[in-house]
A and B are shown apart, each in its own frame.
Chain A
Amino acid sequence: MELLAFLIFAFLAVASALVVVAHKNPVYSTMALVVTLFSVAVLFVLLGSPFIGVLQVLIYTGAIVVLFLFVIMLLNIGREESQLAGHKPQFFASILGAIVFGGLVIFTLLNVATTPAPGGPSTELVSLEGLANTLFKEYLLPFEIIGLLLLVAVIGATVAARRTQPGESTTGVAEPPKEEAQP
């Protein structure tokens, strides 16, 4: 049963990831990203982290991707012209690089084959209490810092995206003082 679910959602994740990186229309890429994120969330649940899986749907697909769509619609970003014309060497080099990297990782992993304890994830792993204990006891300081980081990001995003106010320069270079005309 777990095997069937893994195969279906793994295939879905890889196929939609390919659509994300290959499709010319950014809106289609974004919707394929939604499918990818959802499949990865299901894989998280299969791996014994239902909380993180639900958070993935809530944060990633529910907010971040909506932000992407919003910006695409606001800026009216059109289809991308074909990038292969005149850029063939770059394209093939990156595919080669990805194959080499993927091959290295897969080779390493298959040499240290891992099989977890049979019977599925332990109740301790799946429980929210265990995660909450770890998060709020050992990792309290990073948690608070992440809160601060999000605050900084919100302030930065608000400042970066607003229209320049009158009298504010975008380059930050001071204007030379104007010379007073001598009567």
Chain B
Amino acid sequence: MNVDVLVTVVKAVVVLVLLLQVAPLMIWVERRGSAFMQDRPGPNRLGPWGLFQGLADAVKFLFKEDVTPSAADKPLYLMAPVLALLPAFTTSVVIPWGPDFKWDGQPYRFVIANADTGVLLFLALASLGVYSLVLAGYASNNKFSLIGSIRASAQLISYELAMTISVLAVVIPVNSFHLGDVVEYQRSHLWNFLPQLPGFLVFAVAAFAETNRLPFDLPEAESELIAGFHTEYSAMRFAAFFMAEYTSMAALSALGVTLYFGGWSLPWINYEGLGWRGVLIGLGTLLAKVAVCMFIFVWVRWTFPRFRYDQLMRLGWKFLLPVAILNLIAVAAMTLAGWL
């Protein structure tokens, strides 16, 4: 029993440390990457290529004055940034971060929560992300924040549905909700994005909508709503929202990579023979794939204009949801026919 607890704690610490690096790194990637795409230098004063910008931003957030509106609903106002971090960090417990390893001769899977309801748990915890947006907008006692949070809640629950159905289609041929089994399936068959291309596209679009990134960032639209639902937040509270956004992007990218691109596995490597070196290679592969996804997030942000609210809802309900359902039916038919 004690060894189990120790192994779980070690896994959790490793994943937590990795996730905590995402926000500072992404600050640099976002600012230098967007500058590169917009043909300007970007931050280049702090360290070589501006690499210490993330550190400087963290220090800035610590020292900024914390302004709280006097008419704000204090308990809800203070709770909202914390609630934002909750789904970002807890959803990463069901993702397999590397191949199975042996500790004292006992095999262990590299998932923190070895639950049978794997991917459903991810979706359930991710659906709790709506509350921080809703409460932040409501508690700020500010018309623009309220509009931002109403738009955000409608957007999130609409695209959650399309995402859930496209995830269900992945689960059908695998016969299990556990994400480790999904990766094992992809090691012996094709990577899932090929036979389930429409489902993958639906998932990708829904992932942008779930994390409030452009082209779906109407809840925090900078040119229209000041800063949307987090207008009235400053200093560390704003940093909490900021960090939660990047961390949930990373967690959702990790899920997408695990479902559609083989997760931690590369097809030509024999992980069982390599022991702990195999675990490190698997972890490194997954992190590299997630890094590519994060760059694509930044790339898309500076390529497409923002969706208007009615266009956004129309896309989610009238296009993505039928495509996801058709994909589900097609995958079920192919599984019955034995092709998958």
Binding site for B on A (CB under 8 A): 27-28, 31, 34, 50-51, 54-55, 57-58, 61-63, 66, 69-70, 73-74, 126-128
The answer to whether B68 has its CB under 8 Å from any CB of chain A is no
Q: Is A57 touching B124 in the complex (CB atoms < 8 A)?
A: yes
Q: Knowing that A31-B76, A126-B116 touch, tell me 11 more A-B residue pairs with CB under 8 angstroms.
A: A27-B73, A31-B79, A51-B116, A54-B120, A61-B127, A62-B157, A63-B127, A66-B157, A69-B131, A69-B153, A73-B134
Q: Is A70 touching B154 in the complex (CB atoms < 8 A)?
A: yes
Q: How many A-B residue pairs have CB under 8 A?
A: 65
Q: Is B76 touching A51 in the complex (CB atoms < 8 A)?
A: no
Contacts of B120 in A (CB 8 A): 51, 54-55, 58
8 Å CB interface, B118-149 against A: 120-121, 123-125, 127-128, 130-131, 134-135, 137-138, 146, 149
Q: How far is the CB of A32 from chain B (nearest CB, A)?
A: 11
Q: Is A70 touching B124 in the complex (CB atoms < 8 A)?
A: no
State A133–B69 Cα separation when bound (angstroms).
Answer: 55
Most buried by A among B120, B124, B138, B160: B124
Q: How far is the CB of B67 from chain A (nearest CB, A)?
A: 23
Which 8 pairs, one residue from A and one from B, show the smallest C-beta to C-beta distance? A62-B127, A57-B124, A58-B124, A54-B117, A54-B120, A54-B124, A66-B130, A50-B117
Q: List 20 A-B contacts (CB under 8 A).
A: A31-B79, A50-B117, A51-B117, A51-B120, A54-B117, A54-B120, A54-B121, A54-B124, A57-B128, A58-B124, A58-B127, A63-B127, A63-B157, A66-B130, A69-B131, A69-B138, A73-B134, A74-B150, A128-B116, A128-B117
Q: Is B116 touching A73 in the complex (CB atoms < 8 A)?
A: no
The answer to whether B115 has its CB under 8 Å from any CB of chain A is yes
Which secondary structure dominates chain B's binding surface?
A: helix
Q: Is A70 touching B121 in the complex (CB atoms < 8 A)?
A: no
The answer to whether B159 has its CB under 8 Å from any CB of chain A is no
Q: Is A50 touching B153 in the complex (CB atoms < 8 A)?
A: no
- Our pick among B131, B150, B160, B177 for the contact of A73 (Cβ within 8 Å) is B150
Contacts of A69 in B (CB 8 A): 131, 134, 138, 153
- Our pick among A34, A61, A66 for the contact of B153 (Cβ within 8 Å) is A66
Q: Is A73 touching B125 in the complex (CB atoms < 8 A)?
A: no
Q: Is A62 touching B160 in the complex (CB atoms < 8 A)?
A: yes
- Our pick among B124, B131, B157 for the contact of A34 (Cβ within 8 Å) is B131
State A27–B123 Cα separation when bound (angstroms).
Answer: 24
State A66–B83 Cα separation when bound (angstroms).
Answer: 14
Bits for B96-125, please: 1 = Cβ < 8 Å to A, else 0: 000000000000000000011100110111
State A144–B226 Cα separation when bound (angstroms).
Answer: 47
Q: Is B134 touching A66 in the complex (CB atoms < 8 A)?
A: yes
A38 to chain B: closest residue by CB? B128
